[in-house]
Structure 1
């Protein structure tokens, strides 16, 4: 942790503010997956309706990420982060008062807008605050906050459902979701807006970006390759998380998937994967780090699919899968931010990350269709190979950005334009 002692107090405040925001975001988001069984019984809704709420939240999160990126370019990184934190806290809280499926669908979708926006705004703020040699470590640590938030959601769920009847427990959990709004008070007092660079002779109005700006010929290659990485990274992750449990339950007949031990291993693996990726990307570079974790993801998935295993082996082997799956998203925030000039950085990062989120919905569907004509395990292995192969090819088409000063990106982009 020598690097942590090396960074300044403003850098540390920004790091832990973004960490707290993403962890609290993780708590609010993961609570829904935990209360689904209760909603199925309490409201008598079907699994398809519960899945629709989850899907709508993800799509809304992707749109929110793009919107937050544009807002951060126009009105500042700190202000955009404040808006997104208040937004997802408010609509998580209001979800506690939903009276039917339709109301919850709308409220959770609106919550998703803030959920997606918080990552984008926080990632851009952190990238412009932390010095280049430590940026990867800081970004990876913040990404690990999702695992801590996930664990916090499990603990809250266990505690509340132990003392409150299920009919009211899920409402209390959503009501607690208003707590992250208090983070805004800290942001207002302690986190400083990064300085904005304005090109000589350009007015503030001229410097304001539009969505079209990330498709300018000076950055269009970056946008296309970054979007493809986002598609592959999210596509592989969602295909695995959607179909691997089904495959292991129905074709391998494993029972460990529903245990607390399995969940603890997966969460721990996610956090460890983020930490290792954080350290590694500042050592070997962003591009090589992404490629390494993508290749390891493909290898691990195929080991799951083709190796015979029992419950005990499954419990232990779930660690490398969660570990490698975490390494790619832990790198994307650093990589995407270092590819764009400051004036359009939020818009570019928001697009690359969240375009991938939307398109990735097709990968679980692809596995399902392929599974009709071949073993589900084979379909999953092929799909993972396609998704993470896309990540590798796109990463090879991008420059290495390790140790690149943020200001240099703006200067280079301006020169090319």
Structure 2
């Protein structure tokens, strides 16, 4: 058996499938890890969603076209793809917790830089640098929580952590509603970016109390004792692991391409094609975010109940159906408000299974590199979608552009997920 090949699958029996069973049975170490990672996802969601919320203001103030404005979102995601792969690789070399501390300091600093830029080119550079830390933080945090939680609870715990993204999104929307109500748009967007950096202090404090997962520490100790050293960056493309890497990368591409095509441009869709004000669109976004939050929790429960793969198949089809309804039918604003819930539900809930799924696909010595690459390769390709939707919207409606790219992405997601094995309950080894 090659070093990169995982051991035969050992499955832990899942006796209690209730959503909160994992939390009731946690010890203090696991709870510290859970809350630290949940705070990290919240911060990630807040920082990323700030820009889509202020993109209309940026377009107006600096006279940039939608395609160019979307480019800043694309550059952030492309940089996060690189940062995620490198962050995952670094977490295999120096540990998950140390990598988290480095990445959170990095992207918090550049969130502040975004608030101080003087033109769009400077903003583009600042968002790219922020993206490096943003991607690395996800990669290290996803491996950390996946390894720290017992296999019978992994899907629910990792999925519940993922729900922090919706909380961060909600905080960003709340900040927008307050700041744009009391400040002129010319300064409100800068305060949005400043607020995006503040929670980093709390998250960094929490992470000081999180220790390295035992399985990761044991693997690094084995490598040091044997003199073999950490795995090379390219080992995820060798032997039987190559097929896993290719298919998992396509899963990451489809799920994130669809998500970004929707969430990045829906605020702009509401204020232009639906003629809502920035403040007036808050209620519509709130419904979308509530649906997203519930979707994360339901997805976390289903990941352990029906398996990661079935979760992906069901939610990708649901997302296709709802995005077509939301963008293609001549619905009243009242109906559109109601549809925001299922749109957020299906466009977010599948993420709850992804962290656990990638954790279970790779052996420990390759887990950071493999998980970091696959998810962030998908993020990098998905990063093209905000730009492409914006560019296409110059020749057709924004609604059509969103639908075209979202449906294509979810189709890829469905097919790639169908080709991969189920991993629910897989026991991890120090290998």
TM-score if structure 1 supplies the norm length?
Answer: 0.87
Alpha-carbon offset, residue 326 of structure 1 = 0.6
What residue number does 1:414 align with?
none
Q: Which piece of structure 1 moves more, 232-241 or 67-76?
A: 232-241
What residue number does 1:326 align with?
348
- Corresponding residue to 2:235 among 203, 210, 213: 213
What residue number does 1:127 align with?
146
Matched position secondary structure for 1:121: helix
Q: Deviations over 1:106-137 (max 9, x none)?
A: 11211111111111111000000011111111
User: How far apart are the structure 2 equivalents of 1:367 and 1:254?
Assistant: 17
The 3 A distance-change label for structure 1 pair 300 and 165 is: closer
User: How far apart are the structure 2 equivalents of 1:243 and 1:163?
Assistant: 25
Aligned residues: 406
Q: Which piece of structure 1 moves more, 159-168 or 72-81?
A: 159-168
- Corresponding residue to 1:35 among 32, 51, 54: 54
Matched position secondary structure for 1:59: helix
Question: Given that residues 256 and 311 in structure 1 are in contact (C-alpha distance below 8 angstroms), is that contact kept between their aligned partners in structure 2?
Answer: no
- Corresponding residue to 2:361 among 339, 343, 346: 339
Is 1:157 matched with 2:176? yes
The 3 A distance-change label for structure 1 pair 94 and 359 is: closer
The 3 A distance-change label for structure 1 pair 180 and 67 is: farther
User: How far apart are the structure 2 equivalents of 1:114 and 1:215?
Assistant: 24
User: How far apart are the structure 2 equivalents of 1:340 and 1:303?
Assistant: 38
Alpha-carbon offset, residue 378 of structure 1 = 7.5
User: How far apart are the structure 2 equivalents of 1:370 and 1:49?
Assistant: 12
Question: Given that residues 29 and 210 in structure 2 are in contact (C-alpha distance below 8 angstroms), is that contact kept between their aligned partners in structure 1?
Answer: yes
What residue number does 1:137 align with?
156
Q: Which piece of structure 1 moves more, 337-346 or 161-170?
A: 161-170
Is 1:229 matched with 2:248? no
The 3 A distance-change label for structure 1 pair 377 and 357 is: same
What residue number does 1:400 align with?
422
- Corresponding residue to 2:204 among 184, 187, 206: 184
The 3 A distance-change label for structure 1 pair 199 and 4 is: closer
The 3 A distance-change label for structure 1 pair 52 and 369 is: closer
Alignment of 1:270-285 (within 5 A): 270-285=292-307
The 3 A distance-change label for structure 1 pair 362 and 187 is: closer
User: How far apart are the structure 2 equivalents of 1:359 and 1:73?
Assistant: 24
The 3 A distance-change label for structure 1 pair 153 and 308 is: closer
What residue number does 2:93 align with?
74
Question: Given that residues 85 and 180 in structure 1 are in contact (C-alpha distance below 8 angstroms), is that contact kept between their aligned partners in structure 2?
Answer: no
The 3 A distance-change label for structure 1 pair 199 and 66 is: closer
- Corresponding residue to 2:410 among 362, 370, 388: 388
The 3 A distance-change label for structure 1 pair 175 and 376 is: closer
Which consecutive residues of structure 2, in runs of 5 or more, have no partner in the other structure? Answer: 1-19
Q: Which has the higher contact order (CA 8 A, sep 6+)?
A: 2
Q: Which piece of structure 1 moves more, 52-61 or 151-160?
A: 151-160
Which consecutive residues of structure 1, in runs of 5 or more, have no partner in the other structure? Answer: 412-417
The 3 A distance-change label for structure 1 pair 157 and 364 is: closer
What residue number does 1:415 align with?
none
User: How far apart are the structure 2 equivalents of 1:192 and 1:74?
Assistant: 16
Question: Given that residues 393 and 401 in structure 2 are in contact (C-alpha distance below 8 angstroms), is that contact kept between their aligned partners in structure 1?
Answer: yes
User: How far apart are the structure 1 equivalents of 2:185 and 2:391?
Assistant: 37
Question: Given that residues 236 and 387 in structure 1 are in contact (C-alpha distance below 8 angstroms), is that contact kept between their aligned partners in structure 2?
Answer: yes
Matched position secondary structure for 1:7: coil
Alpha-carbon offset, residue 254 of structure 1 = 4.1
Alpha-carbon offset, residue 88 of structure 1 = 0.7
User: How far apart are the structure 2 equivalents of 1:25 and 1:368?
Assistant: 23
Question: Given that residues 177 and 282 in structure 2 are in contact (C-alpha distance below 8 angstroms), is that contact kept between their aligned partners in structure 1?
Answer: no
User: How far apart are the structure 2 equivalents of 1:200 and 1:77?
Assistant: 14
